[in-house]
Structure 1
């Protein structure tokens, strides 16, 4: 009997189920600069939660906003916050889960487009004018990996999913140590260049820029990466699915 090869997407889904992991959106490239509208590269990442649960107010704030938006007290389940996942990525993931559970539980006649309209409005209320949150939510809505720049149409990109592990997070002081036009241009072009070339050398270049601009430690381990995480900068370890 001839056996057919299992498609890669199905293999990834089966692996994720067996490993009890989550798939989240992460801002793999993109450094925030005050007053600068540079692109963000959002990728799909597989992460295995460590069940490091903490109490956080953002869940309660979201529940209140969501119930007000739909006009029903449907979102009431107290979801726990897993601190082992980058904050911004987990916010996008868990709030969509809450919305879908609530819509299903109460039988609310809301389609996918309307659901995401509500989520975008709540995002804006909780994180005003934050284009990182907009980028991640847009990628989730499109179910795609994207290059996102505020005010422009997102561009879908085809890149392999990665596996990540959160190592640490630090408060982000958005007061650059040094900044000029050449650095601004380089920060903006790197997400685009990586999406086109997939050159791992560019990962080290952006890590170096994080160090130069925000005085973060320079990373000598090639599988480590600084990523923007709202008011934090988070250090992740990444690998390809083929390596796990």
Structure 2
């Protein structure tokens, strides 16, 4: 009897833990440069949301555009961004959730492929020609970490999920403070090399490139990482 009670308690504790974490897509490696089609490495991330909600126009735009695309007013509630999660990761997560809820509630006859076709179209309307959003949505659609370069077939990657926590975020205007051909070459090589070698020093190297190109503080803590987060640059803490 004691063993049965213990097992039951463990199951309850596990259920509570699972309810407190989200699986999201994380743009782990890849530095954006205007006019350069750099690769982006997207990993599966696990995060414990802190429910720090902020209103954002992008999710409101998504709701309007999605309702228009399917021809029904199925998504009615207002959604807010949980700022304890990278914005780009949260946008991809919550918009698919809203789409799934709408399709179910309005009994819209739609396949998974059709759903993602609409999601990609709405993404493009809100974030035109944005390779980061395309990369994250494609990773979500394939349900896999990927190496993504706009206009090319995504490459599925076998990499473990990472646990992440947002440390801080800063507005990002996309204007480099210093850039030359050698830095452009390095920014394109690092995501590819990491996907093949998983060498941790490449993470530190990319942090250094972020600092050099955009005059950002150099991160001295080993498990901190700069990531591109749409209109933000976000520092995450990560672990396996």
Partners of 1:97 and 1:16 in 2: CA distance: 20
Partners of 2:66 and 2:173 in 1: CA distance: 31
Partners of 2:92 and 2:107 in 1: CA distance: 22
CA contact (8 A) 1:147 1:157 kept: yes
Per-residue deviation, 1:224:
0.2
Q: Which residue of 1 aligns with 2:133?
A: 133
Q: Which residue of 1 aligns with 2:164?
A: 164
Q: Which residue of 2 aligns with 1:45?
A: 45
Aligned pairs for 1:63-142 within 5 A: 63-142=63-142
CA contact (8 A) 2:207 2:219 kept: yes
Per-residue deviation, 1:19:
5.6
Name the SS of the counterpart of 2:177 in structure 1.
Answer: coil
Structure 2 length as normaliser, TM-score? 0.92
Q: Which residue of 1 aligns with 2:11?
A: none
Q: Which residue of 2 aligns with 1:61?
A: 61
**Residue 93 and residue 183 in structure 1: after superposition, are their counterparts in 2 closer, same or farther (change >3 A)?**
same
Superimposed CA distance per residue, residues 117-172 of structure 1 (whole angstroms, 9 cap, x where no aligned partner): 00000000000010100000000000010000011000000001000000111111
Q: Which moved more, 1:50-59 or 1:192-201?
A: 50-59
Q: Report how many aligned residue pairs link the two structures.
A: 227
Q: Which residue of 2 aligns with 1:8?
A: none
Query: Tell me, which stretches of 5 or more residues in structure 2 are unaligned?
Result: 1-13
Name the SS of the counterpart of 2:193 in structure 1.
Answer: helix
Name the SS of the counterpart of 2:116 in structure 1.
Answer: helix
Per-residue deviation, 1:16:
8.6
Partners of 1:190 and 1:204 in 2: CA distance: 10
Alpha carbon RMSD of aligned pairs, Å? Answer: 1.2
Partners of 2:59 and 2:25 in 1: CA distance: 18
Superimposed CA distance per residue, residues 173-222 of structure 1 (whole angstroms, 9 cap, x where no aligned partner): 32212111111110000001011111110010000000000000001100
Is 1:214 the counterpart of 2:214 in the alignment?
Answer: yes
Partners of 1:31 and 1:80 in 2: CA distance: 27
Partners of 2:20 and 2:188 in 1: CA distance: 36
CA contact (8 A) 1:22 1:49 kept: yes
Partners of 1:84 and 1:126 in 2: CA distance: 22
Partners of 2:19 and 2:105 in 1: CA distance: 27
CA contact (8 A) 2:224 2:236 kept: yes
Partners of 1:134 and 1:207 in 2: CA distance: 23
